[in-house]
Structure 1
Amino acid sequence: MSFPWAENYAPKHPLTRWIDEKLPVPRLVYNAVGAGYPVPRNLNYMWNFGVLAGAALGIQILTGIILAMHYAANGLVAFESVEHIMRDVNSGWLIRYAHMNGASFFFIVVYLHIFRGLYYGSYKAPREMVWLLGVVIFLLMMATAFMGYVLPWGQMSFWGAQVITGFFSAIPVVGEPVRQWLLGGFAPDNAALNRFFSLHYLLPFVIAGVIILHIWALHIPGSNNPTGVDVKGPQDTVPFHPYYTAKDGFGLGVFLVCFSLLLFFAPNALGHPDNYIAANPLSTPAHIVPEWYFWPFYAILRAFTVNWFWVPAKLWGVIAMFGAIALLFFLPWIDKSPIRSAKYRPAYRIAFWVLMLDVLVLGWIGRSPAEEPYVRIGQFAAAYYFAHFLIIVPLIARFEKTLPLPNSITEAVLAKHGEVAPVGTPA
């Protein structure tokens, strides 16, 4: 998807012209993120989160490389090496806090990115591959974050690894061997630290590679837009640069301001105080919780308390937790409505906001103790989560009475400002 003149693009500066002849990187940049890439003219700030996620990944990779120079993946000294980074390495406290809070901001923008895709129907044809690669990125993020949370070797790190990997043992036959393979033994120790450290260092680069595929897949059909209407012609688009580079720049500035406020004024707000206590296998914390971005899935994991059909509750919880993510892979085929944007789907819009409330409730339950009334509330919230995707969305797609779509993006933009598209404008 490019402007007619983009194919004949030639750099003006002699150096960039020489580079383009030998290796067409300037042409690639021009067509990928420059004036040669047309985007719908009505994109709002909800389309900033892709760029913000890329910026968050950059922060994680840069700070992670520096931290790896000083970290020791050994159970005897791992906790002390983190304290050494915080106290003795020049600006080590800043780098460590930036890495720790950067993970939270990475998940914040990715969750908002996913919710925007759900609201505007960005998972629908012809962008199914874009959505599927996005879910793969989300899974890789979760694996990377879990292993990174173990590395400080505090109380919550150790017991989080013990509890979460322990759920693999619920899988018949292969579960316990898989758990031992992950840990390198029967319990978290030096082998687990070495494996988790190696994979935690490697996976961000894998994520970066999948992001390239994600962007590549996006450039084939082009970006979705708030109306969900396909681009009808050049009048519906503007060049990515300078229009959306400026918009993304503003969004990046807001992101960095918020990140800096948390980093300098409340760096431990999203962490757990027990993780500043060295890991002790003989002392179990009163309440074991994962990081906040895992809370909804942890609530689903704990929602099963009784055995069903001779299947242990523990195994049902594991199936439900992975199923909650697996549903996202099938969403393009679950929702068969021809209308993409929730702006023109009143029933779906209500269901979307109820789902958002349900996810927040699951997050609250995930951080709460495994006792009543939290267990019962979590069961209802988990049941609704699956009902939304498996029952409510298919029924809405079949019976919903949608609002009339605009004939083109240009018509929708002009109508928003009380104007009428010129006669003869393609629709």
Structure 2
Amino acid sequence: MYVNFVNEYNKLKLKLKAPLNLSYWWNLGSFVSLIMSIQIITGLFLTFYYENSENCFDSIYIIHIETFYGVLVHFIHLNVSSIIFFLIYLHMTKGLIFSSFSMMKITWISGWIMMMLSMLSAFMGYVLPWGQMSLWGATVITNLLSAIPVIGKMMVEWIWGGYFVSNFTMKMFFSFHFLVPFIILIFIMIHLIILHYYGSNNPIGNFSLMKIEFNPIYSFKDLMSIIFIILMFVLFFYSPYFMVDPENFIKSNPMISPIHIQPEWYFLQYYAILRAIPNKLGGVLFFLLSLILLMMMIFFNYSMMMNNMKLWNLMTIMFIMSNIILVWLGGMPVEYPYLILSQILTFIYFLNFLLIYMFNYLNFILGM
């Protein structure tokens, strides 16, 4: 059985025939897998000392002060989440630029599921320090479910474990935050198996006839890139809490809310879309739609893109720039002119998808 497993692994990884012209954009998937493994390991060590009770806020400081290298492990776990999402967004951008979604549909779907699970795990992990932003961020985000007709209020109370965010909520979030990364790890393996079964696309947009074995060329290339990422990670030591909201260093107080409630930076573009819609239910629907549309890119016609490269490049630039500006707007107060700008950028975000599907439909009609 062991020999058969090694043989299959060699076929899927070491003996994989990869296109000759793959650039460093194709190393991002390996980065995410490595960083996700580091996140799971550091999280596992933190669970040894984290107190899942009313004293969870104090247990963070105990980890820093009384455990060997506890502050280092917590610092790594805290900042690696930002690195993961930065790499995920770059990986997704590569898929858009090189149209991986149209040629590797199953791979794109499995990657999209991993991104959704990562967002879920990151949100629940943000609640666990039980600071001011953790408490009120959980209150605001979970309360969005109350916009769902009939069952919304019941769902919110079930998640809260009562009528407000409390220690019961934190216990539930801790349980799921511990389990979801292992589910993500399973999907990473599935994602890699699917990718290596169907092969990789390349910068010219098709399957190259000139291929080489994945090992040792691309294995060594991955190793060099991973070393570079680790060296860049060392720079975070100069400001380990740069990505942390100062409000989260204050113990949670349900009687006093922060002046400006906002999630982590990697959720800000979707948070800006959520706030841009005046209606609560409408905001939730557009928030979900902004994520679902990314998965629905698999229905895009690849031949239409090849026939309209200038148009596709313009749409891709619009999509990237609208996301970057929405990240900035998501961290701004809900007031003029940021609210108006958020609504304009939200319109541009969805207009981009509308144009893509409109041209895709016209191409289908004309092709008939």
Instruction: Pick the TM interval, shorter chain.
Output: over 0.9
Q: Encode CA deviations 1:302-352: one digit per residue, 9 max, x unaligned.
A: 0112xxxxxxx000000011110011121111x21326679x822211221
For residue 238 of structure 1, give the secondary structure of its aligned residue in structure 2. Answer: strand
Whether contact under 8 Å (1:124, 1:340) holds in the other structure is no
More helix by share: 2
Residue in 2 that maps onto 1:152: 129
Q: Is residue 2:319 matched to residue 1:355?
A: yes
For residue 319 of structure 2, give the secondary structure of its aligned residue in structure 1. Answer: helix
Residue in 2 that maps onto 1:130: 107
Task: Please point out which of 281, 284, 289 is paired with 1:318.
Answer: 284
For residue 338 of structure 1, give the secondary structure of its aligned residue in structure 2. Answer: helix
Whether contact under 8 Å (1:40, 1:225) holds in the other structure is yes
CA distance in 2, matches of 1:149, 1:259: 21
1:32-51 alignment, distance < 5 Å: 32-34=12-14, 36-51=15-30
Compared CA separation, residues 339 and 211, structure 1 to 2 (3 A): farther
Q: Is residue 2:232 matched to residue 1:268?
A: no
Residue in 2 that maps onto 1:162: 139
Residue in 2 that maps onto 1:121: 99
Whether contact under 8 Å (1:348, 1:396) holds in the other structure is no
The normalised TM-score by structure 2 is 0.95
Shift of 1:160: 0.2
Compared CA separation, residues 147 and 177, structure 1 to 2 (3 A): same
Q: Encode CA deviations 1:75-116: one digit per residue, 9 max, x unaligned.
A: x20100011111111101100010010100010110000000
Whether contact under 8 Å (2:12, 2:197) holds in the other structure is no
Compared CA separation, residues 44 and 22, structure 1 to 2 (3 A): closer
Residue in 2 that maps onto 1:175: 152
CA distance in 1, matches of 2:154, 2:341: 34
Residue in 1 that maps onto 2:68: 90
Q: Which ranges of structure 1 fall in alignment gaps of 5 or more residues?
A: 1-20, 306-312, 400-427
Compared CA separation, residues 316 and 380, structure 1 to 2 (3 A): same
1:146-295 alignment, distance < 5 Å: 146-232=123-209, 236-262=210-236, 264-295=237-268
Q: How many residues of Structure 1 are paired with residues of Structure 2 in the alignment?
A: 363
Residue in 2 that maps onto 1:52: 31
Whether contact under 8 Å (1:147, 1:200) holds in the other structure is yes
Q: Identify which range, 147-156 or 321-330, moves more after superposition.
A: 321-330
Shift of 1:396: 7.2
Whether contact under 8 Å (1:70, 1:85) holds in the other structure is yes
Matched letter for residue 67 of structure 1: L
Compared CA separation, residues 279 and 231, structure 1 to 2 (3 A): same
Residue in 2 that maps onto 1:101: 79
What is the RMSD of the two structures over their aligned residues, measured on CA atoms? 1.6
Shift of 1:359: 0.4
For residue 39 of structure 1, give the secondary structure of its aligned residue in structure 2. Answer: strand
Matched letter for residue 275 of structure 2: R
Q: Encode CA deviations 1:247-293: one digit per residue, 9 max, x unaligned.
A: 1111111111111211x111111110110000000111000010000
Shift of 1:22: 4.5
Q: Is residue 2:349 matched to residue 1:385?
A: yes
Identical amino acids, percent of aligned pairs: 35
The normalised TM-score by structure 1 is 0.82
Q: Which ranges of structure 2 fall in alignment gaps of 5 or more residues?
A: 364-368
Q: Is residue 2:53 matched to residue 1:79?
A: no
For residue 290 of structure 2, give the secondary structure of its aligned residue in structure 1. Answer: helix
